[in-house]
Structure 1
Amino acid sequence: MFVSSLHTYPVKGCYRLDHDVVAVEPWGFAGDRRWLITDPDHHFVSQREEARLALVRPSLTMDGLVLDAPGMESIEVPHPIGGELAAVTVWKSTFDAALADKSASGWLSDFLGRDLRLFWLDDPTRRASNPAFSEPGDRVSFADGYPVLLASVSSLAQLNDWIAQDFPDDAALLGPLPMTRFRPNVVISGGPAWAEDGFTGRRVRIGGTTFRVPKPCGRCVVTTIDQESAERTRQPLRTLAKYRHLNSDLVFATNLIPDDPQAAAVISLGDPVVLA
């Protein structure tokens, strides 16, 4: 097995960046989900309730990021270094983050037609991973629960085969679903479908970096959103519910935690993926 694509999502819920090489940090890939959109009460907002976040395209700069979206002028957003801190909530985690410039919050509010805020995680050591599946000292950025998400091309091919077999009308309408629906960080090729199921509870080595594999990833309605158009569909949850309903979750892809949080490392396209 080997790495066939690498991705980060600078703003949680927004469009991806594709990479040839990524740096691995204790809390995930460098630059991944360090920005967060919230409501006025500082609870996170995602594509679950705002599908059009998929149309917001961030790009990273030395000083922060640039946001683009259809019908909007691009806006530069500097890192709010030394700025106002406020408690934000992502699922069951509440921790401090830095409030971005008001112009960025206004830009997002104008695009989505509701009152929003933008935050930057100035100190990524603040948020602990889920203690039920982590070790003391594990940290995660604004990702849902774990630092890195790994998905398999072979598993996606099997899923698309199931859709075509059991839901031919959906398959005719949608065509094969792309991997972008699942918003992974690292995509692997060359192994059998669902090989990643066997990673759970073990360690996997990608290039020169070792990760612990705490649990598979339970999927939500975000997977039904076309990441290019923001249109909602009925797949893949209909098919995952039939074939991949495991331990109360609809499962696709698996979570990873960097095993040596002090080790600086990179992952590149083509790197081998092996059980350590």
Structure 2
Amino acid sequence: MTIVIVTGIHVYPVKSMRGISLEEAVLTPKGLAGDRQWMVAEPGGRFVTQRDKPELALVATRVEDTGVTLSMPDHGSITVPYRMYDGEQVTSRVWKDTCETVDQGREVSAWLTRALASTTPLRLLAMSPGFKRPLHRAPLLGEGTTTGFADAAPFLVANQASLAELNSRLEAAAIPAVPMNRFRPNIVISGVEAFAEHRLQSLVAPDYQLDMRYPCERCVVTTIDQDTAEKHPQAQPFKTLTSINPMPGSKRAPAFAENAVLAHGNLQKIAVGDQLRAVFR
């Protein structure tokens, strides 16, 4: 029997902004409580991420009783209240998924537009009350699966050994190692060999179970330093990762971490240090 340890838990209250590391979090079918509750969008509702605005990496988020506070060097801070559902209703998109959302107001719109030096007005959106996002990859995740503003799935589970293997290849090529935050996972585990997460079926605890669904295809965000918002000039670690762990059936993009769903354990807590039984396919 293989036992893995939870070594990291992370939520990203606003999609593509800086995350928050936690000692424990509440599990829900939509993902970790508090994860990706808001997203930045253009006026027409198209979502904006670090692919468009790398500077989003510099916007820190702090969760408070009254809402989430956004802050950025040289631009101060702004607090966005929870459950601000009386704003303009906006039909928005996350990749192929259409979402019903609510504009969070002019004040935060002006702050984001200024802080991110955008020539197009930006707005902050929250999911409309009661709306369940239909996922275009539902056949892979399970019918009825929904999530917030995550790219693809409720959870992203990364393996510490995979990062270590990637960094050993980078360092062998005289390329600086990268931290786990390049991959923006929700849950980090240790205890299995590099890239063995792609062979996992489930991670089982006494009170909850996470089922792995399919590898996460990585993009240019992996090349963005999350502390400086600068892109690596040689597109690393994307290129090296593609060479050692390509997506199944593709040699043009790498895989890192597993998209996952909650099999059972709604409202249970996951904590750093949890010991989980690894079930392989």
Instruction: Report runs of 4+ in structure 1 exceeding 4 Å deviation.
Output: none
User: How far apart are residue 212 of structure 1 and its match?
Assistant: 1.8
- Measure the CA separation in 2 of the matches of 1:256 and 1:82: 33
Q: Secondary structure at the match of 1:161?
A: helix
Share of identical aligned residues, percent?
Answer: 35
1:127 maps onto 2:133 in alignment: yes
Alpha-carbon separation, structure 1, partners of 2:96 and 2:70:
28
Whole-Å separation in 2 of the counterparts to 1:124 and 1:274? 34
Q: Are 2:41 and 1:38 aligned?
A: yes
Q: Which digits, 9 at most, give the CA deviation of each residue in 1:66-125, with x for residues without a partner?
A: 110011121111131333321111000112111102100110000112210101124375
Instruction: Tell me, yes or no, if the aligned pair for 2:138 and 2:144 is still in contact at 8 Å.
Output: no
Question: Corresponding residue for 1:27?
Answer: 30
Q: TM-score, normalised by structure 1?
A: 0.92
Cα distance in 2 between the residues matched to 1:124 and 1:92: 20
1:142-157 pair list within 5 angstroms = 142-157=149-164
Of residues 9-18 and 243-252 in structure 1, the stretch that sits farther from structure 2 once superposed is 243-252
Partner AA of 1:105 in structure 2: S
Which residue in 1 is equivalent to 2:87?
A: 83
Give the drift of 1:31. 0.6
Number of aligned positions between the proteins? 267
For the residues of structure 1 that align with 2:64 and 2:149, how far apart are their CA atoms?
19
Say if 2:220 is the partner of 1:221: yes
Q: Is the 8 A contact 1:124 1:141 kept in 2?
A: no
By how many angstroms is 1:206 displaced? 4.6
Q: Give the secondary structure class of the aligned counterpart of 1:41.
A: coil
Equivalent in the alignment of 2:190: 189
One-letter code aligned to 1:151: A
- Would you say 1:102 and 2:97 are equivalent positions? no
What is the DSSP-based 3-state SS (H/G/I as helix, E as strand, rest coil) of the residue aligned with 1:238? helix
| Equivalent residue in structure 2 for 1:158, among 165, 168, 171 | 165
Aligned alpha-carbon RMSD (Å): 1.5
Gaps of 5+ in 1: none
CA 1:206–1:163 in structure 2 vs 1: closer, same or farther (change >3 Å)? farther
Q: Which runs of 5+ in 2 are unaligned?
A: none
User: Over residues 118-161 of structure 1, what are the superposed CA-to-partner deviations in whole Å (9 max), with x where a residue is unaligned?
Assistant: 01124375203322302222111100010110111111010111
1:12 Cα deviation (Å)?
Answer: 0.2
In structure 1, distance between residues paired with 2:27 and 2:130? 13
Contact 2:160 2:189 in 1 (8 A): yes
Q: Please give the secondary structure, in 2, of the residue aligned with 1:215.
A: strand
Q: Is the 8 A contact 1:43 1:88 kept in 2?
A: yes
Q: Of 3, 27, 32, which residue of structure 1 is paired with 2:6? A: 3
Hey, what does 1:93 align to over in structure 2?
97
Could you list the per-position Cα deviations for residues 254-276 of structure 1 after superposition, in whole angstroms to 9, with x for gaps in the alignment? 1111113x732110010012235
